[in-house]
Every structure is written in structure tokens, then in C-alpha cells.
């Protein structure tokens, strides 16, 4: 492995850069090297991870101080554990808002106390198959514990219906000091008896029983991108459960998408697979079939003369959009099947009999046919 680059150099900031400068620089570099903007670019991917690691350290005052003293050779090994920094999944949206703050603050024993974060929620949501072609603007209704409207989250029935918490002297926070090597590590936690509010409630709110949270039904809107696959999860920041602590941030809402099956297509990533049952004459003489398709242009399938059941026809560019490169689309693969009529009139039966006699005159004897088939099957 090449020697590790300096975190300040990576983030293109001075040694005495302010927290804000570091954040600004991280944000603009992360946008530049984000995988969504650089698909299949492993160099950008490596850079993106390197920027993240540098930011994880320099955005954390304790870790930054240790880095300033020891550089990469700090005692006790990598602050990220024996496997080193693994990278985190930051969406492009997060880089515009402040969504990445909470991700990095959770690295080192929770400076901002991620224990006080509200619970994440997961809901499953079905969308029609067409959404994987066109994308979809959709919404769901969810019931979750949110900040209680009656008491504005205070938990108290009336203003002033509370007294100062003796455990934390009204500060709402408790600092725990521990020694890590030569460093005093201060971990700040929300005070448990008062839920971080600094106050104890003498007259609890009747609607939430003093919890400060109540069940609420909300509509959540979201966009589904073309190319979506069953099992994909959308993350809606801050739309999860409210925190039990007054100062805690809400959890996230995850929406797991289930794409409903198509009447005839099976899906393999962005490729589509279908079977086309044809009669003997269509296979033998060839035919052209047109069927309605997901892109609203008819799908034209040209079956060449002399086709056999099990053979496939590939139609490139008519499958689903790639989820990362929307301009490109997968292919449609059509497997030919033979469908014999299960009912036929006497007239039709007679005609088929005639064809059989005619065919027998034009095909080699059965033993030879079996031998030829085996040869071609074995690739000889």
C-alpha cells in the first residue's frame, strides 16, 4: 500500500482551517468524486473514500487533536478499528443538505450521542412494474411516534408544569469522562431522568402521558428512479420516530420497494426475459409478431424461418433503464416455444397428416436424425 496521504492535503485545507472550512471543502470534494457522478470509475471511488476518512477525523475535535499530535502513527492503531476505514454510504442529496453530519458524528462513540436518536422505521411498499421503466412520484401514509402536538414535545400539560431536574441541574446533559491513553475523552450523554430536557414533569400531558411523543399519521412523498429493483431501500432522513429525548434528532424512514411482477416478463437486472409460444408453421416458415411494450412502442419480434423451440432472439436496448445510467437500457430476450394445438377439427387433423407424410419424404431416417442431433449438441 502506498503511504497514507496527509488528511489536510486530502481535504485541501490548511492545518489551522476552521470546522466550517473543513466542512465546505469536504462537501465540494465529495460532490466531485461521488460515485453517482463517476459511475464505474474506481479512481474516483478511492478518492471518495479517502476524502471521507479524512473528514471523519478532521471533523471530530478529539480525533483531530490526536491526529495533529501523532499523524497517522497514533498509538493504539487505526481509530476505525483493525480493518481501517471502510467508507460510508452518503447519498448525493445528503451533500446538499447537512445529511452527512449525523453519519460522521456516529463514528467515535457518538459525540452528539446517537443513542438519543429516534428509531428508524422500515415500511414495504409495492409499485407497479411500469415504475421500473418510467420511475414514479409516489407517496405513502405512515403512522409513527412524532413530537406530540398538544405539548409541543415537552411532555407537560401546561407551560411551567415542570421543575428543574436534580440529576443534571437542568442542563439536560451529563458528561462522562474516561481516559484513553494520554487523552481525556469526554462523552456527552442526554440525562436519562429528564430525557435531556433538563426538566421533570409534575403534570404530564394527557395526550402523550409525558412522553412528549404521540402517534401521528403523515403522508410521505418520494421519488422512485427508473431501473428500481425489488428490495431497493429509499432513505428518508428524519422521517422516522421522534427521539425520546427533547434534544435528540428523529430517526430515518426506510421505504423498501417491491416491484410488482410483469404479466409476461421476468427480470434479470435491466434485462427482460420472455417466452413466446408459437405454432409449428410459425416456427418453420418464420413470422413477425408485434406486442405492446413497456416503452409504449410496439415490440417487434422477428422469428426467422427454420426456428426451433428453445432458441432465443435478443432485442438490444429495449429492456429496462440501468439504474445508474439512465440513458442506457438492457435487452429483451425472447425464448421460442412450440405450442401444439390441443384441439383440432377433423379438417385440420387431415391437413397435418398430409404435412407429416410430406415432411417424412424430406427428412432423413430417424436413427440418422438422432445421431445428427447428438453431434450438434456435443458441438462436433
What is the binding site for Zn ion (CB under 5 A)?
Answer: 148, 150-151, 165, 167-168, 191, 194, 205, 207-208
Locate 207 and state its grid cell. 395526550
Alpha helices in 59-175 (DSSP H): 61-70, 100-105, 131-134
Length of the chain, in residues: 380
* Min separation Cβ 249 and Zn ion, Å: 19
3-state secondary structure of 102: helix
Measured distance CA(70)–CA(146) in Å, rounded: 44
The H or E element spanning position 266 is strand 266-268
Pick the closer one to Zn ion by CB: 94 or 190. Answer: 190
* Min separation Cβ 160 and Zn ion, Å: 15
* Min separation Cβ 243 and Zn ion, Å: 14
Pick the closer one to Zn ion by CB: 208 or 242. Answer: 208
Burial of 171 (0-12, 13-18, 19+ CB in 10 A): middle
Pick the closer one to Zn ion by CB: 246 or 278. Answer: 246
* Min separation Cβ 201 and Zn ion, Å: 10
* Min separation Cβ 218 and Zn ion, Å: 17
**Contact predicate 116/190, CB 8 Å:** yes
Pick the closer one to Zn ion by CB: 166 or 181. Answer: 166
**Contact predicate 69/62, CB 8 Å:** no
Pick the closer one to Zn ion by CB: 114 or 207. Answer: 207
The total of other beta-carbon atoms located within 10 Å of residue 268's CB is 13
* Min separation Cβ 216 and Zn ion, Å: 11
Pick the closer one to Zn ion by CB: 144 or 194. Answer: 194
* Min separation Cβ 153 and Zn ion, Å: 7
**Contact predicate 5/50, CB 8 Å:** yes
**Which neighbouring-strand residues pair with 242?**
none
Pick the closer one to Zn ion by CB: 168 or 332. Answer: 168
Measured distance CA(100)–CA(91) in Å, rounded: 8
**Which neighbouring-strand residues pair with 140?**
220
Measured distance CA(71)–CA(57) in Å, rounded: 11
Amino acid at each position: 500500500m502506498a503511504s497514507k496521504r496527509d488528511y489536510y492535503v486530502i481535504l485541501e485545507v490548511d492545518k489551522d482551517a476552521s470546522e466550517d472550512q473543513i466542512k465546505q471543502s469536504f462537501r465540494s470534494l465529495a460532490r466531485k468524486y461521488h460515485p453517482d457522478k463517476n459511475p464505474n470509475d474506481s479512481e474516483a471511488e478511492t478518492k471518495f473514500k479517502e476524502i471521507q476518512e479524512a473528514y471523519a477525523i478532521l471533523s471530530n475535535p478529539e480525533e483531530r487533536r490526536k491526529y495533529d499530535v501523532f499523524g497517522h502513527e497514533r498509538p493504539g492503531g487505526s481509530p476505525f478499528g483493525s480493518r481501517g476505514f471502510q467508507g460510508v454510504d452518503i447519498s448525493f442529496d445528503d451533500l446538499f443538505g447537512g445529511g452527512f453530519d449525523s453519519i460522521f458524528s456516529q463514528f467515535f462513540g457518538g459525540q452528539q450521542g446517537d443513542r438519543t436518536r429516534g428509531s428508524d422505521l422500515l415500511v414495504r411498499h409495492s409499485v407497479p412494474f411500469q415504475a421500473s421503466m418510467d420511475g414514479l412520484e409516489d407517496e405513502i401514509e405512515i403512522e409513527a411516534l412524532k413530537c406530540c402536538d398538544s405539548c409541543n414535545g415537552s411532555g407537560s400539560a401546561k407551560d411551567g408544569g415542570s421543575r428543574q431536574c436534580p440529576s443534571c441541574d437542568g442542563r439536560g446533559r451529563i458528561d462522562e469522562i474516561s481516559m484513553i491513553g494520554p487523552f481525556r475523552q469526554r462523552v456527552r450523554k442526554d440525562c436519562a431522568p429528564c430525557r435531556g430536557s433538563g426538566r421533570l414533569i409534575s403534570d404530564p400531558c394527557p395526550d402523550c402521558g409525558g412522553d412528549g411523543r404521540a402517534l401521528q399519521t403523515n403522508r410521505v412523498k418520494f421519488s422512485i428512479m427508473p431501473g428500481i429493483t425489488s428490495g431497493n431501500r429509499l432513505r428518508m432522513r428524519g422521517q422516522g420516530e421522534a427521539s425520546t429525548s427533547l434534544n435528540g434528532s428523529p430517526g430515518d424512514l426506510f421505504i423498501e420497494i417491491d416491484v410488482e411482477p410483469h404479466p409476461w416478463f421476468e427480470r434479470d437486472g435491466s434485462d427482460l426475459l420472455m417466452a413466446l409460444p408459437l405454432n409449428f408453421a410459425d416456427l418453420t416458415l418464420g413470422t413477425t409478431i408485434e406486442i405492446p411494450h413497456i416503452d409504449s412502442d410496439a415490440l417487434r419480434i422477428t422469428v426467422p424461418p427454420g426456428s426451433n423451440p428453445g432458441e432465443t432472439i435478443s432485442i438490444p436496448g429495449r429492456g429496462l433503464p440501468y439504474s445508474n445510467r439512465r440513458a442506457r437500457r438492457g435487452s429483451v430476450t425472447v425464448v421460442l416455444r412450440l405450442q401444439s394445438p390441443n384441439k383440432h377439427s377433423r379438417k385440420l387433423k387431415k391437413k397435418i397428416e398430409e404435412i407429416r407424410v410430406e415432411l417424412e419424404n424430406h427428412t432423413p431416417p430417424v436413427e440418422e436424425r438422432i445421431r445428427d442431433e447428438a453431434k450438434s449438441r456435443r458441438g462436433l
